[in-house]
Structure 1
Amino acid sequence: MAESRERTFTGTRGRNTAREWPHEQPRYLAILVHGYGEHIGRYEHVADRLVRHGAAVYGLDHVGHGKSEGDRALVEDFEDVVTDVHAVEEHARAEHPGVPVVLIGHSMGGMIAARYAQRYGSGLTALVLSGPVIGEWGAVPALLAFEEPPDVPIDPSTLSRDPSVGAAYAADPLVWHGPFKRATLESFAATLETIAKGGTFGALPTLWVHGDDDQLVPLAGSRAGIEAVKGSDLTERIYPGARHEVFNEINKDEVLDDVTSFIDRALPGA
């Protein structure tokens, strides 16, 4: 695996922990944006592949996630998280001036990345959305119907057809295994509405990857969201039989091949 290092910085709501996988002369900078309840350490193999592809890779644990400060899995305003991700991009650019930036977000991180593209897309060279929470996500209204959201943690078997992925997730002490918090659900609802009204990605090259057996973030709901925001350069890859975490699926090499091929096409001079 590629060498990595951690650093901390003051985010919008306390101290955030970020991870970097360096490259001395990168062709591009990859910013990874993780999903709900997890942490950036679950993306070691993705970062390793991107480093071997020529990237310097960066990512952070969002507020309330992983090693960052905050009540666990509590996100009161995703706009603050977008701002924190932008601080990571600015740090990456300071280390490698003039190098193109690619943003890669999974699940909740796909939602954050979509909003990021609306706010800061002019500085991006490419956008990758993996199983993004965008458009219609039925879990939000279903759980908000309860005054106190029920304790229904994510079923590890829905992540991948590889049982070792779910086992590692269930045993990971940095993963949040408790219930959704009402304020977080309300923030999801507000952000999905903001994205729907926030305009398209314009000419930003965008890759959407999704498993067609994704039971956590069903394909149909995300498609509605993608249709609302896609710009003039959208590539989609839907993987038969794949579950929610396509970067951890039994065909993950195929998925990462598609990601790196897409980046190659999007980089200047391709």
Structure 2
Amino acid sequence: MAAQEYTEAWLTGPQETAIYTRTYLPPTPKAAIVFIHGFAEHVGRYTHFHPLLAKKDIAVFAIDQRGFGLTALDTQGKKSKSSSWGKTCWVHQMDDINWAINHAKEKFKDIPLFLMGHSMGGGEVLGFATQEEHPHKSAISLLSGLIATSPLITQASPAPKFLTWIGGKVSILAPYTIIPADVKAEDPLIKQSGSLKGISDMLTKGGELIRSSFKRWPKTLPLLVVHGTGDKVTSYESSQTFVDSITADSKKLSLYEGGYHELQNEPDGVKERLAEEIIGFVNANLSQAAAAPASSSESDAAKPNL
């Protein structure tokens, strides 16, 4: 690829939200990935990683999620007046993913499309594929596979259930009240906080993945989940439970022994190994046509005892 490895664009998403996007476009792409980042971060944190995929002819379309990154904090007058830090919720996140998939399919008409998310974004993409009475069924049918790295299903050290319950109740009354959040990063586009609604939805919907939502996994949608066993943020055991519980023709959990939360930032060849694993998954599913989501009836998989 040339020195300018990505192009930037502000696009109008759902609810007339101005969304900051980056596109990594190789000369002859054979597939494309829609990428959803994690809590409080932004696509600029993947400038070193997404080119590893693009150099193997996989295009990447990445967005700064509403409530985060430039979509929330732009100082050049391009963001929506209604956008602010932490102002997000599960329903809007699902709408935004649906929009991103459809935009990417229009942009990359004739190549297979994959959906990928990290951490909170990993939980979101798993949730997107397992929505009850799926409102975005047509977007799922456009996907050839789904990838989740270190997905937030449950936290590695969960908050007490009582505090989570209280937070959920308070978020109904004051959804976008900002509260402190333990985010360790020296980055001008990252704040050490989130909204009550955003955090409550993130934790509640993540937990639902192993309590009930797993039953609605589209059987013919291939899945790759990658998680480090040393992750101190999200639980790799919950990733194991989810993958074990879904009924899918093709599914894989890849555990990196001792790996931490951001495998894409680890040294000693770990991020390269991660990139190669993603590339291998894409190559293996280039001819895959995802079927529409299964009905909301229960699958034969046993409900995990959690």
Equivalent position to 1:27, from 30, 36, 45: 30
8 Å CA contact 2:179–2:196 kept in 1: the answer is: no
| Partner Cα separation in structure 2 for residue 23 and residue 150 of structure 1 | 41
Q: Deviations over 1:132-161 (max 9, x none)?
A: 11267724847525668973512x3xxxxx
Equivalent position to 1:151, from 176, 180, 185: 180
| Equivalent position of 1:8 in the other structure | 10
Q: Which amino acid in the other structure matches residue 260 of structure 2?
A: R
Q: Greater helix percent: which structure?
A: 1
Report which stretch shifted further, 246-255 or 209-218.
246-255
Structure 1 stretches of 5 or more lacking a match?
Answer: 157-169
Report which stretch shifted further, 139-148 or 204-213.
139-148
The question of 1:244 aligning with 2:261 is answered yes
Change (3 A) 1:184 1:212: same
TM-score by length of 2: 0.74
| Equivalent position of 2:274 in the other structure | 255
Report the alpha carbon displacement of residue 3 of structure 1 after superposing the two structures with TM. Answer: 1.6
| Partner Cα separation in structure 2 for residue 150 and residue 5 of structure 1 | 34
Report the alpha carbon displacement of residue 172 of structure 1 after superposing the two structures with TM. Answer: 0.9
Change (3 A) 1:93 1:211: same
TM-score by length of 1: 0.84
Report which stretch shifted further, 63-72 or 206-215.
63-72
The correspondence of residues 83-94 of structure 1 with structure 2, limited to 5 A, is 83-94=95-106
Equivalent position to 1:59, from 62, 72, 82: 62
Q: Which has the larger radius of gyration?
A: 2
8 Å CA contact 1:23–1:51 kept in 2: the answer is: yes
What RMSD over aligned residues (CA atoms) do the two structures have, in Å?
A: 2.5
8 Å CA contact 1:29–1:100 kept in 2: the answer is: yes
The question of 1:46 aligning with 2:70 is answered no
Structure 2 stretches of 5 or more lacking a match?
Answer: 73-82, 131-135, 171-177, 289-306
**What secondary structure is seen at the aligned counterpart in 2 of 1:185?**
helix
8 Å CA contact 1:64–1:75 kept in 2: the answer is: yes
**What secondary structure is seen at the aligned counterpart in 2 of 1:133?**
coil
| Partner Cα separation in structure 2 for residue 122 and residue 97 of structure 1 | 14
| Partner Cα separation in structure 1 for residue 247 and residue 140 of structure 2 | 12
Change (3 A) 1:34 1:130: same
**What secondary structure is seen at the aligned counterpart in 2 of 1:171?**
coil
**What secondary structure is seen at the aligned counterpart in 1 of 2:70?**
coil
Counting aligned pairs with the same residue, the percent is: 24
Change (3 A) 1:63 1:101: same
Report which stretch shifted further, 245-254 or 218-227.
218-227
* Count of equivalent residues: 253
Change (3 A) 1:22 1:136: same
The correspondence of residues 63-212 of structure 1 with structure 2, limited to 5 A, is 63-69=66-72, 70-76=83-89, 78-118=90-130, 119=136, 120-134=139-153, 138-139=158-159, 141=161, 143-144=163-164, 151-154=180-183, 156=184, 170-178=185-193, 180-192=194-206, 195=209, 196-197=212-213, 199-212=216-229
Report the alpha carbon displacement of residue 205 of structure 1 after superposing the two structures with TM. Answer: 1.5
